[in-house]
Amino acid sequence: MQKLLVVLSIASLCNLSEGRLAGKVALHTKADDCGKGFDNLNDGSKKYFSTLEKALWTHPYHLEQFGVFETELKCWYSHMLTTKCGGLSSQAAARKKDLVAMCGDVTKDWMTIWKKYSKDEQDWFKHTFPNDQEDNFASADFREAANTAFELNKKEMLCMTLFTIDDNCVDSMYIRTSL
């Protein structure tokens, strides 16, 4: 918890020093970093995104972080939808029930979710998520913001990614928690 407070305090100071509103950890992003951009997604896809918070950000220590990292989450989500989730196929029939249980269980850690990823999904995520790797698509500032969001919400972001893939890269207006 102390680590979170330190990170959020530093992020807030950075935002203030750059003339941004405090309370959000939004750093520089280029237009192409976020696919076609969240604002350009259809209304159904935007509604789907709004259902992610209640369904996946359930850990008491992470409840506020969806809002804190909303810019980074929207960017990753928009990128996934724009790239059609890297062409990955839904595996909902094989894992949806387990995924719903694990993502909603605050006693499960991120590694239990990572083990639900197929080899192709793991490779795609490692090479696509805008963290601090040099070969990824985002600018250095955004990579650090996205990396911070990921480190503090690893389980939730891994769940968000798998739900997005398993919901056919979003073909409805809400997250599907059952088949």
User: Residues near 105 by Cβ (< 8 Å), separated by ≥ 6?
Assistant: none
| pLDDT above 70: residue 165 | yes
Over residues 46-88, the pLDDT tens digits come to 999 999 998 998 888 777 778 888 999 999 999 999 999 999 9
Q: What is the pLDDT of residue 122?
A: 96
Kindly report whether the global pTM for this prediction surpasses the value 0.75: yes
Q: Where are the domains of the chain?
A: 2-166
Q: What is the pLDDT of residue 100?
A: 95
Q: What is the pLDDT of residue 111?
A: 97
Q: What is the pLDDT of residue 12?
A: 43
Q: What is the pLDDT of residue 25?
A: 39
Q: What is the pLDDT of residue 48?
A: 96
Position with higher pLDDT, 152 vs 28: 152
Task: Copy the structure tokens of residue 25.
Answer: 């950890």
Phi-psi region of 96 (alpha: psi -120 to 50; beta: other; left: phi over 0): alpha
Q: What is the pLDDT of residue 132?
A: 55
| pLDDT above 60: residue 22 | no
Question: 161 vs 13, 21, 70, 77, CA distance in Å?
Answer: 30, 28, 15, 8
pLDDT over 90, % of the chain: 53
